[in-house]
Amino acid sequence: MTETLATTPARGDWPRLVKLFAEASPLRMGHWNPQTGEVFVAPRHKKGRAIAAAFELRLLEEEGWLEVPFLESDDAFALAVNWAESLDPGRGKRAVTQALAQEKPFRQLRVVLGQMVGLDRRYEKAVREEAEARLVEFCVSMSLTLNHPRFVELAPYFQDAEDADSTVLAATAKSGVQRRVDALSIGRSPCA
């Protein structure tokens, strides 16, 4: 018999939350207040530091803000490699695979994707689906629920799992994205 855990309804616009989880990084931390639905990521422009400093004051004064977990570099690289492997053979797959084998793989990947709009859209879709899975996993771990069909669809994969890694794999596989269990280390070898 499956136990039902007590959960708290959370507020938030699904597309904005997915974007927040997709864009969060060690250099650009994201925050979400599930009580109000408000999200915050420091802007990338020069005024971003002042805006981030003002937000830090809000963090001290207001309750309910949660820091959004970001995708580790090795996991992001594994996602990109798995996505590249899923592409049909051809010029696009070759260019993406070569970019990921370079010294600065994400920089090279952005160059390739900038030249191939169709591939860019497909990669963004893979990143978005992975971010959805992390969003749902985060909510389930914090006993939060979102009133959105995609949350309802993915949540059972995270609620019933005993192992977090298998949970992410199950949910992302269900959504069409596959993550490698053995994420490549920083000292990565060239892609085949």
Is residue 2 a part of any domain in this protein?
A: no
Is residue 12 a part of any domain in this protein?
A: yes
Is residue 93 a part of any domain in this protein?
A: no
The mean-pLDDT minimum among 69-78, 100-109, 116-125, 157-166 falls in 157-166
Q: How far apart (Å, rounded) are the C-alpha atoms in residues 20 and 14?
A: 10
- Look up residue 41 and give its amino acid: V
Count CB neighbours of 18 within 10 A: 23
Contact 160, 130 (CB under 8 A): no
pLDDT at residue 49 in the model: 81
Q: Can you give the pTM of this predicted structure?
A: 0.77
pLDDT at residue 192 in the model: 41
The mean of the pLDDT values for the chain is 82
Q: What is each CA distance from 30 to 19, 47, 65, 135, in whole angstroms? A: 10, 17, 10, 12
Count of structural domains within the chain: 1
Kindly tell me if the per-residue pLDDT of 1 is higher than 90. no
Is residue 51 a part of any domain in this protein?
A: yes
2-25 pLDDT, tens per residue? Answer: 444 568 999 999 999 999 999 988
pLDDT at residue 159 in the model: 82
97-111 pLDDT, tens per residue? Answer: 999 999 999 999 999
Q: Which residue's entry shows tokens 């160059």?
A: 111
Is residue 133 a part of any domain in this protein?
A: no
Is residue 159 a part of any domain in this protein?
A: no
Domain that holds residue 39: 8-67
Is residue 27 a part of any domain in this protein?
A: yes
Is residue 94 a part of any domain in this protein?
A: no
